[in-house]
Amino acid sequence: MKKQIATDKAPAALGPYSQAIQAGGLLFASGQVPIVPATGELAGADIETQAKQVFDNLREVLAAAGTDFGKVVKTTVFLTDLANFATVNEIYAGYFTAPYPARSCVQIAALPKGALLEVELIAEI
């Protein structure tokens, strides 16, 4: 059985999808872009500010499901410019501890609202 996870401490879904779905002991979190929940606007124009907002948003989704970054098993990072990889990697390391989740990172053409990155994840509940 699946259960929808939602919190007003992270941006609301902007379409026909859920912030996250809990199923089979796992949480599948939709990709988060760097939107400030209170304003609905991007969190700055630089990669550092945007990356921190993305991970803060994901922390809130994880908390709403009763889990945290320590139980994340897989992440996917989407960047509009792989030149930002090192900066995002450094910020990423501040949210996770060893053993680190499995991860994929890809460059994509564009993201909603002109965001520089999006991150989705899977975690244990």
Q: How many domains does the chain have?
A: 1
Q: What's residue 3's pLDDT?
A: 97
Q: Which residues pair with 73 in a beta bridge?
A: none
Contact 24, 45 (CB under 8 A): no
In which domain, by residue range, is 12 found?
2-124
Residue 15, pLDDT score: 86
> What pLDDT does 13 receive?
86
Residues with Cβ within 8 Å of 66's Cβ and at least 6 positions away in sequence, in order, are: 125
Residue tagged 């792989």 (tokens): 82
- The pLDDT of residue 14 is 77
Other Cβ atoms within 10 Å of 81 Cβ, number: 11
Q: Report the 3 state secondary structure along the chain.
A: CEEEECCCCCCCCCCCCCCEEEECCEEEEEEECCECCCCCCECCCCHHHHHHHHHHHHHHHHHHCCCCHHHEEEEEEEECCHHHHHHHHHHHHCCCCCCCCEEEEEECCCCHHHCCEEEEEEEEC
Residue 50: give its domain's CATH number. Answer: 3.30.1330.40
* pLDDT, mean of each 10-residue run, the chain (125 residues): 96 91 98 96 97 98 98 98 98 97 98 96 97
